[in-house]
Amino acid sequence: MVESIVSDKKTIFSGMQPSGQISLGNYLGALKSWVNLQDEYNCIFCSVNLHSLTVRQNPELLRQNTKQLIALYIAAGLDPNKNLMFLQSDVYQHTQLSWILNCYTYFGELNRMTQFKEKSAKYEENINAGLFTYPVLMASDILLYKTNLVPVGEDQKQHLELARDIAIRFNKIYGETFIVPEPYIGKVGARIMGLLDPTKKMSKSDNNGNTIFLTDEPNIILNKVKRAVTDSDNQIRFDTINKPGISNLLSIYSSITQKTILESEEELKNKGYGDLKKIVAEVIIEEILPIQEKFKELCKNEDYINEILKQNAIKAQEIADKNLNEVYKKIGIK
């Protein structure tokens, strides 16, 4: 790993919250594309457990989900010898930089964030300050490693734009310090919608048939897809405004088979909705079954995961510390 980090490859940073089991949306919108990037870039994939605290978590489950997230990264094909994989909480420089960048971020900017508005509505009993400053910690994650590219789903684009604005603002005051990161958003799969409410994104914190989890058994997946909301005109075509449910099934199909939406529409247009659902469930199951098998194996070996986390955190701390010190010097803390 270290040799690639000091090479001249561009750096990629991304992360997921261990706020539940990984969903099909996380996989198709983010994780699947990460696997294809690992040879070409210096990749850093973090489990952003501090971000998860913005929503109330059960401590025992959080601990379990945090380890399982790393096991799923590996099971999905991320090679722990090629990529830096670690827990956000193990590299304290993330929160140090976050405080500093808070002082370079405006209230109005944070107040405009769609995710803040959505989560404030969803968790109205707990609109905490962390939920508000969430994007600043995310900007710190990214800027701390002089990241060039950030592969995320469509929903994170606004946060990334804010990270860019913060970097540009800081550089303007103190001279070139941060690299201004670019988003890397895949085409299909960028936004997978909920099965029961296809007008909202599939979220790993939903637990009611709206979300397919990577660890769901095949019969559960089949049942969830069968119950997916569609419409009554019996036409298979992509139209997110008038046919959000069918469009979502087509997105899932295209994303897994790597066919274009047009090719998928052409292939499936003469099927009934029942058949479409069966076909979609089958491709999902076929895609994730090998991941599940590897995941089960990895979960039996917690020491292996712990060792990867320990080694990688040391390497991440080294890079983070160097870059944080540069910031300290620029602003007069050192």
Active-site amino acid positions: 119, 201, 204
Q: Among residues 90 and 321, whose Cβ is nearest to ligand ATP? A: 90
Q: Among residues 116 and 273, whose Cβ is nearest to ligand LTN? A: 116
Residue whose beta carbon is closest to ligand ATP? 29
Classify burial at 166, counting beta carbons within 10 Å of its beta carbon; exposed 0-12, middle 13-18, buried 19 or more: buried
Using CA atoms, how far residue 217 sits from 70, 291, 293, in Å, is 20, 12, 11
Beta bridge partners of 84: 44
Q: What span, in angstroms and rounded, lies between the C-alpha atoms of 141 and 152?
A: 13
Q: What span, in angstroms and rounded, lies between the C-alpha atoms of 184 and 179?
A: 15
Interface positions, 3-32, toward ligand LTN (CB under 6 A): 13-15, 17
Pick one of ligand ATP, ligand LTN, none as the site partner of residue 141 (Cβ within 5 to 8 A by kind). ligand LTN
Nearest distance from residue 142's CB to ligand LTN, in Å? 5
Q: Candidates 123-131, 148-156, 186-194, 252-260: pick the segment binding ligand LTN (CB under 6 A).
A: 148-156
Interaction of residue 57 with ligand LTN, rule CB under 6 A: no
SS3 242: coil
Classify burial at 129, counting beta carbons within 10 Å of its beta carbon; exposed 0-12, middle 13-18, buried 19 or more: exposed
Interaction of residue 98 with ligand LTN, rule CB under 6 A: no
Q: Among residues 16 and 136, whose Cβ is nearest to ligand ATP? A: 16
**Residue numbers at the binding site for ligand ATP (CB under 6 A):** 16-17, 19-20, 23, 25-26, 29-30, 152-153, 155-156, 190-192, 201-205
Using CA atoms, how far residue 233 sits from 3, 246, 249, in Å, is 57, 11, 15
Out of 141, 216, 265, 287, the residue judged to bind ligand LTN by CB under 6 A: 141
Out of 76, 78, 97, 142, the residue judged to bind ligand LTN by CB under 6 A: 142
Amino acid at 313: A
Pick one of ligand ATP, ligand LTN, none as the site partner of residue 32 (Cβ within 5 to 8 A by kind). none
Size of the site for ligand LTN (CB under 6 A): 13
Q: Tokens 């070409």 identify what position?
A: 40
DSSP string computed for 257-309: HT--HHHHHHHHTTS-HHHHHHHHHHHHHHHHHHHHHHHHHHHT-HHHHHHHH
Q: Among residues 65 and 156, whose Cβ is nearest to ligand LTN? A: 156
Beta pairing class for 84-87 and 182-184: unpaired
Q: Candidates 71-79, 135-143, 183-191, 300-308: pick the segment binding ligand LTN (CB under 6 A).
A: 135-143
Pick one of ligand ATP, ligand LTN, none as the site partner of residue 138 (Cβ within 5 to 8 A by kind). ligand LTN
Out of 150, 190, 202, 324, the residue judged to bind ligand LTN by CB under 6 A: 150
The residues, ordered by sequence, that sit 6+ positions from 112 with a Cβ below 8 Å of its Cβ are none
Nearest distance from residue 143's CB to ligand LTN, in Å? 10
Q: Which residues bind ligand LTN (CB under 6 A)?
A: 13-15, 17, 48, 51, 138, 141-142, 150, 152, 156, 159
